[in-house]
Amino acid sequence: MLLPRPASRPLDLNGLPAASRLETRAALGVTAIATAWFALAAAWEMFGPILAGHYASSAGVGIIAENMLRWKITGPVWEYTASQPPPEMYYCHHPWGIFWTTAAFMKVFGRHDVICRLPAVLLSAATPPLLYAIGRSVYRPAAGAAAAASFVVLPITLSFANLNALEVPVMAWTLLGLWGYVRLTQTSRRRYLAVSALGLALGMNADWPAFVLTGGLLVFGAVRAYLLPKRVFGPVHARRYAQWWVLTAFIAALTVALYVALFHQAGKLGDLLTSYGFRSSGNAEPLSKVLASRRYWIELSFTPVAIAAGKLAALVCAARLVLLRREHDALPLLYLATATVQYVVFRQGADIHIFWPHYFGAYFALAGAALVETAAALIERAAAARRAPDDAALLERAAARRAPDDAARPAQPAPAAWPAPGAMPAWPALAALALWLAPLAAVLRDGLPALRYARETGGRFNERGHLIDSDGEKTAFLRWLAPRLPAGAPVEMHEGMKATWAQVWALGGRVVTPARPAPKQEPPRGAYLVDTRFMLDRDQASLARRFDITAVGPFWALGAAVDPQAAIDPRAAVDPRARGIEAFSFREREPGLLAWYLVSGTEPEREVAPDPFLTWELRTHFGQPAEPPAGAPETLEEKRIAHNIALAAGDGARAAALLAEISAALAPLGARFDDGTELLGTTFHEGARSLLTIFVRAGGPAASDVALSVRSRVVERAPLSTTMADPIYRDVGLPTAISPQRWRAGFLYADPVPIRKRPGTEVFWASLRARDRGRAPALMDRGGEVEVLRLR
């Protein structure tokens, strides 16, 4: 139960609520640990290549920054162009602050992958200290430490701490603005007015939700200072408060006018309104139904523990604001309103972007400070109540022993019902902080695996069951190819490449043209890139028949700018007269500790090397002359192809020996389908990017719509986790590089399946499935799918 407003708390020489040295030191220790942890989490993989998923938007910001510097323009353009882009190409859905910031970093440090992440990493590292400063200023040091610790354990804040997009800068800059506002109201010093105005201005230039927060703060400030009686929240420095209000309102109006003018000049005002009309679509659905459909995403992002605490904190903050009449208790509620508007009003955006409720992280942190402050006061009040009878008895005994001339002295005042917080001893605040850290530990239990899960999936998590690929191999292929193309050579990508900003960025600033049909006769003027896993078999055959091809794993490059011989390692013994398909493969190794942290902890290190075994396999399957490799096979993959070489040459004994050697290295499956295809077994490599490889012996060419499929489902949530198990079946297997329609009877094929494990016990099943409702081959001795892996 909250009691009436206490007396004003004592202040120290800096105008902050007084606190004991023990509490201050303990709070600073917790904040330092929280800040260091969050900075380390944000900086993980910061020097590595940018891959697919939501994280690819950071590469998009890098492309925009490079265009700004290259063409000396102020507007953002998402794609590289051969000439200066006109204003009609400017991206006008958001303010341009993050693009200007990244351009400034690129101007100073140059074009590097780290520049696409560095602003977000720095702002994320600054956010816990800002939260501590707000909690310390509004309440006390223990509350500030609670705010910092609350922010750094949430799965969503950990997962997107290095995303150089919108939410990270908005939260960091607006928290700076709120801290300046708090200190201004406490000290009336002009420098805090400047800090508040600067922080809110930078936040409004980062994204629109900052306008919601600033507008709410202005409305509250006007009501607090000019409409309510001064006795409600106490007096303010009228002149300084008015200066803050007018300056902040002027900056907000000026920022709106700036972007209206810029967007109008680019002819994009209508486009902006259309985009936000689309983002807010779906509002006809009841909110309860919408939230139920997002339940797993919500629990995965915050955990049920944090959700319950956040709901409780909203009630506590509202009660404190009404009963205790402290104006700064409105700050968590204002941030809650901002996050709610973002998440509820723009429903379409929230349906496809799991990071949409990121702003609730800042609310949760501020609310945690309020909860610790309230708990500390309740603990002290309970202790004071227990001490009251003993204090009364001591006073009675002392009065009995007083001399008669002391009887007229005034009695000692009774203990206050709600002790002044600044006068509290350290132990109640530290006890309240310790109590709050316990549920935060439960939240961190789910935050840690969520951080890795996010990095593995590019921030997409389960993507509602859709196939997820990190593009790790594809990015390595593009980075290997880019320096081998002539300067200025344009690049065209088949639709199967599934082009992203990250792919365009990986090519080093080249003009990239999106999908068009495969060339019919003449080679493309530049380079034409293909991912054969997502290309029809007949189109692959057409390209192989008409063009020279450089194949790197499943990726093909052809065109006037691509010389297969020039791409080959000059040390390799390759016939310079050879034409057709020249194949390379990825050589993978696990990263060392330093590379794991700074470059990639979720992908292996890769290099591209000539592969005569793969060259034979591709040429054989596409009807080209193929010479068997001279060397003996060493890896399991080379032995697989050597088996096929022996089978094609009619060497049954050699093929049988290799088959026995391969089978001995597999976890056996022995699953046969009625078309003669057999799943022999699997290998599983657990590492930075875990890999399941399924070995198949083909019964012959498959029907035109049949493909090898791998799906997974979480069957049990993780131990000690409070988050529900992911209920969605998810496709995890990529199509095979050589289509099953081209398989040959008795040949062995390998299907590598990257494993990005979801939290909990996940089971993986394989099957031959018909993609277009045709008849799929059935297993002869069991149900439609065979279990190939189970991970806990």
742-779: per-residue pLDDT in tens?
999 999 999 999 999 999 999 999 998 886 655 667 77
> Is the predicted pLDDT of residue 500 greater than 90, yes or no?
yes
Q: 598, 623, 604, 650: which is closest to 752 by C-alpha?
A: 604
CB < 8 Å & 24+ apart, contacts of 108-115 = 111/62, 111/66, 111/509, 112/47, 113/47, 113/48, 113/49, 113/50, 113/62, 114/46, 114/47, 115/62, 115/65
Local structure of residue 17 (DSSP, 8 states)? B
All residues at 6 or more sequence positions from 213 whose CB lies less than 8 Å from its CB, including other chains: 174, 200, 203, 334, 335, 338
672 phi and psi angles, rounded to 5 deg: -110, 140
* Residue 239 CB burial class (10 angstroms; 0-12, 13-18, ≥19): exposed
pLDDT number for residue 271: 81
CA distance 753 to 139: 52
pLDDT number for residue 414: 43
pLDDT above 70 covers a percentage of the chain that reads: 88
For tokens 């907000």, name the residue.
Answer: 252
CA distance 329 to 351: 31
CA distance 486 to 729: 45
* Kind plus residue range of the DSSP H or E element containing 67: helix 56-71
Q: Are the CB atoms for 733 and 752 separated by under 8 Å?
A: no
pLDDT number for residue 515: 66
**pLDDT, mean of residues 616-637:** 95
The pLDDT tens digits for 36-89 are 999 999 999 999 999 999 999 999 999 999 999 999 999 999 999 999 999 999
Q: Are the CB atoms for 692 and 733 separated by under 8 Å?
A: no
Neighbours of 392 (CB within 10 A): 11
Q: Are the CB atoms for 710 and 694 separated by under 8 Å?
A: yes
Q: Which residue has the higher pLDDT, 4 or 33?
A: 33
Q: Are the CB atoms for 192 and 133 separated by under 8 Å?
A: no
Q: Are the CB atoms for 494 and 503 separated by under 8 Å?
A: no
CA distance 71 to 83: 8
The pLDDT tens digits for 395-444 are 566 556 555 544 444 444 444 444 444 445 788 999 999 999 999 999 99
Estimate to the nearest angstrom the gap between the alpha carbon of 708 and the chain centroid. 30
* Residue 111 CB burial class (10 angstroms; 0-12, 13-18, ≥19): middle
> Is the predicted pLDDT of residue 508 greater than 80, yes or no?
yes
> Is the predicted pLDDT of residue 289 greater than 70, yes or no?
yes
Q: 224, 135, 185: which is closest to 15 by C-alpha?
A: 185
CA distance 605 to 76: 33
pLDDT number for residue 460: 94
pLDDT number for residue 258: 95
Mean per-residue pLDDT over the chain, rounded: 89
Tell me, what amino acid is at 751? D
Burial 1-35 (b: 16+ CB within 10 A, else e): eeeeebeebeeeeeebbebbeebbebbbebbeebb
Residue ranges of alpha helices (H) inside 320-425 are 330-340, 347-352, 360-401
SS3 684: strand
All residues at 6 or more sequence positions from 89 whose CB lies less than 8 Å from its CB, including other chains: 75, 77, 79, 81
Tell me, what amino acid is at 402? R
pLDDT number for residue 773: 57
The pLDDT tens digits for 296-354 are 999 999 999 999 999 999 999 999 999 998 999 999 999 999 999 999 888 888 888 89
* Residue 237 CB burial class (10 angstroms; 0-12, 13-18, ≥19): middle
**pLDDT, mean of residues 680-707:** 93
**pLDDT, mean of residues 481-505:** 92
For tokens 């800068």, name the residue.
Answer: 169
Cα three-residue angle 177-423-24, rounded to 5 degrees: 55
Q: 565, 560, 530, 527: which is closest to 544 by C-alpha?
A: 530
The pLDDT tens digits for 112-138 are 999 999 999 999 999 999 999 999 999
Q: Which two tokens stand for residue 263?
A: 């967007």
Most confident of 389-393, 412-416, 707-711: 707-711
Estimate to the nearest angstrom the gap between the alpha carbon of 240 and the chain centroid. 41
CA distance 645 to 656: 12
CA distance 746 to 738: 15
Q: Are the CB atoms for 781 and 672 separated by under 8 Å?
A: yes
CA distance 546 to 411: 105
